[in-house]
Structure 1
Amino acid sequence: MAGPKATAAFEQALQLMPGGVNSPVRAFKSVGSTPIFADRGEGPYLYDTDGQRYVDYLMSWGPLIWGHAHPEIVQAIRSAAERGTSFGLPTELETAMAQKVIQLLPSLEVVRMVNSGTEATMSAIRLARAATKRSYVVKFVGCYHGHADQFLVKAGSGVASLGLPDSPGVPKEIAERTIAIPYNDIDALRDLFLTRGEEIAAVIVEPVAGNMNCVLPRPGYLQAVRELTRSYDALLIFDEVITGFRVGLSGAQGRFGIQPDLTTFGKVIGAGLPVGAYGGRRDLMEMIAPSGPVYQGGTLSGNPLAMSAGLVSLNMLEQAANDGLYERMEQYGNQVVEQFLRLGQARGLPVYGHAIGGMYGLFFHEGPVYDFADVCTSNVELYVQFFHSMLAKGVLFAPSAMESAFVSAVHTETELNATLDAMERAFAELK
């Protein structure tokens, strides 16, 4: 439970911010408690304002692949800040970042920096509609692509965590232009294209669904989505806000051998700083202003702090990938999952899980999890107990059964053993 400093801080925050937070899932409502308040981070650890230390698997919801306050990243930010925090003019850093991202992801020929994952996905959809001269977009139930109006239709992440309906304030006319179908159901997508293929501008998908916990694509699913979109002249957008540089150096598209038309990224490319990007085929991206008529801009886009931190992070990832970083992170996640399954099965509890790259999912669910309907039949009450028990033992998971867990490059055997031990004690307490 939150300590006295966090409790007092939250009481004050409740008077000043909606729900006391600047992003809904931080409020810990879905786990029924007052949130802990972060004070600082160091490597794989997070320290709260009450002085407690946690092995952190939240990792700022994914982007901190190098953990908290990595010395080289901090130095890059410090050096950039000494030169200026924002210019509103082009910098060579932006070109260097674009060059690095394009080098690492073969499907990208041109890229545009923005300030968040939401901006990236919103801009990619606008571009897709302009390029195809069609207005309908297909998304998948439980996948979250940010909080732009067209995406708050059967969304995952905080919307699902809080049990909210499709958001008030979204005009019916906009919501009607988004078609939501089940994830991992290729027949549903095939049937939709048969009846409405000429109206569909794009299909946007999290290649590994990371906002309804962590749900893997069925074998061949993403390949089938690629074939369908191509045959109907619709664009395929990979939302790699979570999976980009997290499941592999070339993201999920590299891992699964798929070449989407457009790709979106979030703060992972800035080592956790506020940044995003979208990119893809040259003929599409050159429709963006000032090269073309599709407008999108931002004063802080390509911010020098984020570009500096991101370049250091990506360069380190490129080197570490050659030394087996992603295999080590996946092995780490698999060991956590195996302990979870072993302990749950020994207690006769419904458990399921899997890991991919630096992310993994733990479910109190009987049998495989393939889509949002499966996630919603998981035992949330057991997860809430598990979350609090692990938190009390110094291990931080997401305060929601709908979110993934993340391993960083700086988690070691020490943190793994502490986690496995805490998990054994936590399962002994589950009712």
Structure 2
Amino acid sequence: MNSERSRELFEKSKACIPGGVNSPVRAFGSVNRAPLFIERAAGSKIYDVDGNEYIDYVNSWGPCILGHGDKRVIDAVKRACDNGLTYGAPTEKEYILAKLISELIPSMEQTRLVSSGTEAVMSAIRVARGYTKRDMIIKFRGCYHGHSDGLLVKAGSGALTHSVPDSSGVPYDYTKNTLIAEYNNEESVKELFHQYGEKIAAIIVEPVAANMGVVLPKDGFLQFLRDITRKYDSLLIFDEVITGFRLGLGGAQGYYGITPDLTTLGKIIGGGMPVGAYGGKKEIMEMVAPVGSVYQAGTLSGNPIATAAGIETLTILKNTPDLYRQMEKQAEKIVYAVKERFENQVCINHIGSLICIFFTKEKVVDFDSAMASDTKRYADYFGYLLENGIYQAPSQYEAMFLSHAHTDEDIHKTCAVIKNYR
């Protein structure tokens, strides 16, 4: 496919935008290609500036669960825009969206709207620390919780150590209270609580890890996290920026039947508009100003455009009970095609409408097994799909997202292209 205009725009962008992109994965660096510059999207398709059409399995990294440009959502946004873009003052839409979230995710008795998933996570951790009067938190290697300083960390010389900054510009003092455990490894968590239990404010976890590729929790792992946090009077935070309203109306916590103390959301609750949220038990959330002593603010938080899109999107999801099962059935067809083509050459992890193909023969259950993947093989596979009109994540360690807009024809074409991979 011709991509001359995309390459030209990429080179021009490099002059005024670091790396030519506004988020690193967009640069296509790990797949050794110049990125596509997208002009428009509709339904299950995206169209680049060179006029090429692609079946889209990125879906803006998850929020476009109804597909691109759903008319009902677009119309709601247009109506909201007619009344102005932002007021910096309360609106009824904020109440409606928060009430809808609480109805669908009961653990979120109270919700504070923000402008991004990163902001939601940063704020939830601050609330957890304020509520428990403790400083330390536990995160898991390979789980991504946004780019705030205290969470841009990796393990030190071993898994059971204090973390060290994983980005230039992050002072060690910002991360010294972040402890690193291994996802799906109960012993690593027990050891941290044994050493620091009375100082640990919370565990934060992606209940289904989706930023080292899709890695499902082992049986009992999430319940273990719930039990050990209760034992030590710490809080359990579910980062559902990806899984929230993606695995079902109740998110991963509804899917697995585990109730966290705090939850963070993003992406889908804005129907494609910039938005995030954090919430939980009323007694915890009342730590937040102006009621409590934990400060958090944002001029564009709960703005009338994002809330209009979110209300419409969540209402559609709520009123379309078969939507999740339909997407899962379409995902299963792709999973079957991959297994048929690759047999035992790859590991494919799948839950609901999330899929990840790891180019490794070993089962992927944690960060180390994910890192064993053949990224060069993935880059070749990505390029092949792209040349055949299939757009998926330009990184081995991202999810493949299906939407309700993917048709039987889209899935049939995708499966045929996969089966013909050399």
TM-score of the pair, normalised by structure 1: 0.94
In the other structure, the counterpart of 1:136 is 136
Deviations 1:59-116, CA, capped at 9 Å, x for gaps: 0011100110000010000000001100011000000001100000011110000000
In the other structure, the counterpart of 1:335 is 333
Aligned residue for 1:66, secondary structure, equals coil
In the other structure, the counterpart of 1:160 is none
Q: Is the 8 A contact 2:340 2:419 kept in 1?
A: no
For 1:127 and 1:419, the matched residues in 2 are separated by 44
| Paired letter, 1:59 | N
| Paired letter, 2:289 | A
Query: What does residue range 18-37 of structure 1 map to in structure 2 within 5 Å?
Result: 18-37=18-37
In the other structure, the counterpart of 2:218 is 218
| Paired letter, 2:87 | F
For 1:132 and 1:315, the matched residues in 2 are separated by 35
Deviations 1:174-198, CA, capped at 9 Å, x for gaps: 1111111110101111121122111
Q: Is 1:410 the equivalent of 2:405?
A: yes
Deviations 1:358-417, CA, capped at 9 Å, x for gaps: 211111111311011011001111100000000000000100001000010111211100
For 2:359 and 2:199, the matched residues in 1 are separated by 39
Q: Is the 8 A contact 2:149 2:170 kept in 1?
A: yes
In the other structure, the counterpart of 2:158 is none
| Paired letter, 2:63 | P
In the other structure, the counterpart of 1:259 is 259
Query: What does residue range 24-423 of structure 1 map to in structure 2 within 5 Å?
Result: 24-154=24-154, 166-320=166-320, 322=321, 324-345=322-343, 350-423=345-418
Q: Is the 8 A contact 1:55 1:396 kept in 2?
A: yes
1:244 Cα deviation from its structure 2 partner: 0.2
| Paired letter, 2:378 | Y
- Tell me whether 333-342 or 268-277 shows the greater mean CA deviation: 333-342
For 1:265 and 1:197, the matched residues in 2 are separated by 27
Q: Is the 8 A contact 1:65 1:246 kept in 2?
A: yes
For 2:235 and 2:259, the matched residues in 1 are separated by 11
| Paired letter, 2:89 | L
Unmatched runs of 5 consecutive residues or more in structure 1: 156-164
Q: Is the 8 A contact 2:31 2:395 kept in 1?
A: yes
Equivalent pairs, count: 414
Q: Is the 8 A contact 1:46 1:56 kept in 2?
A: yes
RMSD: 1.3
Q: Is the 8 A contact 2:239 2:263 kept in 1?
A: yes
Q: Is the 8 A contact 1:76 1:312 kept in 2?
A: yes
1:350 Cα deviation from its structure 2 partner: 2.3
- Tell me whether 144-153 or 358-367 shows the greater mean CA deviation: 358-367
TM-score of the pair, normalised by structure 2: 0.96
For 1:23 and 1:406, the matched residues in 2 are separated by 18
For 1:77 and 1:419, the matched residues in 2 are separated by 32
| Paired letter, 2:60 | S
Aligned residue for 1:73, secondary structure, equals helix
Q: Is the 8 A contact 1:330 1:355 kept in 2?
A: no
1:2 Cα deviation from its structure 2 partner: 6.4
Q: Is the 8 A contact 2:362 2:369 kept in 1?
A: no
Unmatched runs of 5 consecutive residues or more in structure 2: 156-164
For 1:229 and 1:396, the matched residues in 2 are separated by 40
Instruction: Flag the 1:377–1:54 CA change in 2: closer, same or farther, 3 A.
Output: same
Instruction: Flag the 1:193–1:2 CA change in 2: closer, same or farther, 3 A.
Output: farther
For 2:402 and 2:177, the matched residues in 1 are separated by 37
Aligned residue for 1:291, secondary structure, equals coil
For 2:391 and 2:367, the matched residues in 1 are separated by 24
Deviations 1:231-254, CA, capped at 9 Å, x for gaps: 100100000000000011100000
For 1:374 and 1:355, the matched residues in 2 are separated by 16
Deviations 1:189-245, CA, capped at 9 Å, x for gaps: 112112211111100000000111111000111011100011100100000000000
In the other structure, the counterpart of 1:9 is 9
| Paired letter, 1:421 | A
1:341 Cα deviation from its structure 2 partner: 1.7
**Structure 1 segments of 4 or more deviating over 2 A?**
none
Deviations 1:290-316, CA, capped at 9 Å, x for gaps: 011110000000011110011010000
For 1:344 and 1:351, the matched residues in 2 are separated by 6
Q: Is the 8 A contact 1:334 1:354 kept in 2?
A: no
